[in-house]
Chains A and B, each alone.
Chain A
Amino acid sequence: MKVRLVDVAHARSGDKGDTANVGVIALRPEWFPWLERTLTRERVAAHFAGIIKGGVDRFVLPNLNALNFLLHGALGGGGTVSLKTDAQGKVYSTALLRMVVDVPDDEARALGLPVSS
């Protein structure tokens, strides 16, 4: 089954220099372990391949049911140097939430994950 990240998480993003950070938060606490397993550093790096110039770091905040990603080289130089509309990475959050993940049917059902049609 296909699960859209936007249906299981919310997010906010910001900037530090040329790095964007995206904090991703499970919409329900019981979905966080799945989110933590699924949203690996590699998967996020693959999602943004060709869009960001540097690597990806990942941090886990189980206390907030959240993951924090640092996307390096994401802002066209960052701050005032950048020519981008989103020079401060404000909507990298929703760009990450565009991810769609294949989940085995029984796992999706057991967790009650919203399945995209």
Chain B
Amino acid sequence: MSRTVRVAAGQGFWGDWLDAPRRQVEGGQIDYLMLDYLAEVTMSILQKQKERDPRMGYARDFIGAMESVLPAVAERGVKVIANAGGVNPPACAEAIRDVFRAGGAANKLRVGIVTGDDLLPRLDELMAKGHAFANMDTGESLSVVRDRVLSANAYIGSEPIVEALAKGANVVVTGRSTDTALTMAPLRHEFGWGSTDWDRLAAGIVAGHIIECGAQCSGGNCLYDWRSIPDLANVGYPLVEASADGTFVVTKHENTGGRVSVPTVTEQLVYEMGDPHSYITPDVIADFTTIRLDGAGTNRVRVSGIKGRPPTDKLKVSIAYRAGFKAVGSLVYSWPDALDKARLADRVLRERLAKMGLRFEDTLTEFVGVSATHGPLAGAVVDVPEVQLRVGVRSADRTTVERFTREIAPLVLNGPPSVTGFAGGRPKVEEVVAYWPALVDKTVVTPSVQVLA
């Protein structure tokens, strides 16, 4: 039997199930534990934390996760790859070394650090050289919001992770690596796939896409036959058993809940998909129309046939910038005529806001329980038991949004009747940190790798 490498997903986003990493190393044999912590705006949150404390700026959950899997890493040789480094991979690595020391494993474990994705310190220099960082959606030049930029990170590929593994890292901490590279890199390292081995690199990317959202491919959030999915309380996070030829099986540990089947994997494959012919990564462009799925036994799906082609000469850049303030307030109106009462309350609220002369860039009213998620597609409304009125506003001016938050609670006594659900008090004002997707020439980004003994 040909050799397989098992890569398990233990975290699909920052805030995912705390038990999942430990369950992945304890539930059966795996070679690599892959933890994805970064979403589009996560970097900006971490940047704010780093500004307050230069030792911060990484996903703190990762430290607890490492503590929980340390025995497997130290004694069974499981390797961990995580983009938990955020905007401060060196500080994250230092915290991991503290975990090694506390666990008495400092003498035998090494942590690899991947940096070079952070473009914030170089942004003005790069813009001066003619890199416009034009918004991929609107075409606008970054200069429009330059003074409000909080973070700017290039999505980097698998190569620096492969290098860290080759240098003997037991744990690899990256910043803004692509989610899929975290899975593809260990396969590339183990099987020696070359940098132009397009089909196999693409297969590694597809494996990464399938497991990067954790249980979302193993029964979580699965619409297909959802009532029959067993034991979600004990859901098994996914893992791939990959072979050198680029084929792999998606599965999960024995004695766990959830399900791995062609429908559960297909739902994840189409998640957040753009043009399926061109799934662009720094390493390779994968063609999702070539993926073949076959059931291969209980909770096993075989994936094969994947084609790839050379990547572009650009890297995507994730830029976050301050974009004003928002607040959302809500109240619940009860039967009879709950929707009519909520509608009247909304009219009253808006009239009061208008009389005060408050100007918002956006105001949105939703009737939760009636039309918040499907709008007019939800069809005719019966006299429902209750409706949540949910009103959100956004403005560049914090004071304007603050004033709005004072107008919700008074409606309980001076608006339409049968109202409740105002516990929690005044709505909170949140700063909006917006996302600015851009491209930059690959040549200006040089990832760097350090492995600490």
List 19 additional A-B contacts (Cβ < 8 Å) besides A16-B274, A21-B271, A64-B270.
A12-B271, A14-B273, A17-B137, A21-B272, A23-B266, A61-B270, A61-B288, A64-B291, A64-B293, A68-B273, A70-B274, A77-B362, A80-B434, A81-B394, A83-B392, A85-B373, A86-B373, A94-B374, A95-B374
Whether a CB of chain B sits under 8 angstroms from the CB of A56 is no
| A64-116 CB contacts (< 8 Å) to partner B | 64-66, 68, 70, 76-81, 83-86, 91, 93-95, 98
Whether a CB of chain A sits under 8 angstroms from the CB of B277 is yes
Q: Which residues of A contact B328 (CB under 8 A)?
A: 83
Q: How far is the CA of A12 from the CA of B364 in the complex (A)?
A: 25
> For chain A, which range describes its interface: under 10, 10 to 19, 20 to 34, or 35 or more residues?
35 or more
Whether a CB of chain A sits under 8 angstroms from the CB of B390 is yes
Q: How far is the CA of A72 from the CA of B393 in the complex (A)?
A: 22
Q: How far is the CA of A65 from the CA of B270 in the complex (A)?
A: 11
Q: Which residues of B contact A16 (CB under 8 A)?
A: 272, 274
Task: Count A-B contacts at CB 8 Å.
Answer: 129
Whether a CB of chain B sits under 8 angstroms from the CB of A10 is yes
Q: Which residues of A contact B377 (CB under 8 A)?
A: 47, 51, 95, 98
Task: Give the contacting residue for A63; candidates B273, B292, B368; CB below 8 A.
Answer: B292
B364 touches A21 (CB 8 A): no
A21 and B273 contact, Cβ closer than 8 Å, known pairs A11-B223, A76-B364: yes
Contact flags B266-284 to A (C-beta < 8 A → 1, else 0): 1111111111110000000
Question: Least Cβ distance of A8 to chain B in Å?
Answer: 12
Whether a CB of chain B sits under 8 angstroms from the CB of A62 is yes
Q: Which residues of A contact B323 (CB under 8 A)?
A: 80-81
The 3 closest A-B pairs by CB, nearest first: A23-B270, A83-B392, A14-B272
A84 and B364 contact, Cβ closer than 8 Å, known pairs A10-B224, A63-B291: yes
Question: Least Cβ distance of A61 to chain B in Å?
Answer: 5
**SS class of chain B's interface: helix, strand, loop or mixed?**
mixed
Count of residues in B whose CB is under 8 Å from the partner chain: 51
Task: Give the contacting residue for A68; candidates B270, B376, B378, B394; CB below 8 A.
Answer: B270
| A14-53 CB contacts (< 8 Å) to partner B | 14-18, 21, 23, 25, 27, 47, 50-51
A62 touches B289 (CB 8 A): yes
Q: How far is the CA of A12 from the CA of B222 in the complex (A)?
A: 8
Whether a CB of chain A sits under 8 angstroms from the CB of B437 is yes
Task: Give the contacting residue for B362; candidates A17, A61, A76, A95; CB below 8 A.
Answer: A76
Q: Which residues of A contact B276 (CB under 8 A)?
A: 59, 61, 68
Question: Least Cβ distance of B432 to chain A in Å?
Answer: 5
Question: Least Cβ distance of A100 to chain B in Å?
Answer: 10
A50 and B273 contact, Cβ closer than 8 Å, known pairs A63-B290, A66-B266: no
Q: How far is the CA of A65 from the CA of B263 in the complex (A)?
A: 10
B375 touches A51 (CB 8 A): yes
A50 touches B374 (CB 8 A): no
Q: How far is the CA of A10 from the CA of B269 in the complex (A)?
A: 13
Q: Which residues of B contact A59 (CB under 8 A)?
A: 273, 275-277
B364 touches A98 (CB 8 A): no
Q: Which residues of A contact B434 (CB under 8 A)?
A: 79-81
16 A–B pairs (Cβ distance < 8 Å), ordered by A = A10-B267, A12-B271, A18-B137, A21-B270, A61-B276, A62-B289, A63-B305, A64-B293, A76-B364, A79-B434, A79-B435, A81-B432, A84-B364, A85-B366, A85-B372, A95-B377
A12 touches B366 (CB 8 A): no
The residue in chain A whose Cβ has the minimal distance to the Cβ of B437 is A17
A83 and B267 contact, Cβ closer than 8 Å, known pairs A47-B377, A59-B276, A63-B289: no
Q: Which residues of A contact B272 (CB under 8 A)?
A: 14-16, 21
Question: Least Cβ distance of A91 to chain B in Å?
Answer: 5
Q: Which residues of A contact B437 (CB under 8 A)?
A: 17
B376 touches A12 (CB 8 A): no
Whether a CB of chain A sits under 8 angstroms from the CB of B326 is yes
A12 touches B221 (CB 8 A): yes
Q: How far is the CA of A30 from the CA of B263 in the complex (A)?
A: 15
Q: How far is the CA of A78 from the CA of B376 in the complex (A)?
A: 20
The residue in chain A whose Cβ has the minimal distance to the Cβ of B270 is A23
| Most interface-central of B137, B292, B368 (chain A CB within 10 A) | B137
Q: How far is the CA of A84 from the CA of B406 in the complex (A)?
A: 21
Whether a CB of chain A sits under 8 angstroms from the CB of B245 is no
Question: Least Cβ distance of B126 to chain A in Å?
Answer: 22
Contact flags B367-398 to A (C-beta < 8 A → 1, else 0): 01000111111110000000000101110000
The residue in chain B whose Cβ has the minimal distance to the Cβ of A52 is B375
| Most interface-central of A14, A18, A63 (chain B CB within 10 A) | A63
| Most interface-central of A23, A50, A76 (chain B CB within 10 A) | A23
Whether a CB of chain A sits under 8 angstroms from the CB of B172 is no
Whether a CB of chain A sits under 8 angstroms from the CB of B433 is yes
Whether a CB of chain A sits under 8 angstroms from the CB of B41 is yes
B372 touches A86 (CB 8 A): yes
Q: How far is the CA of A117 from the CA of B255 in the complex (A)?
A: 41
Q: Which residues of A contact B432 (CB under 8 A)?
A: 80-81
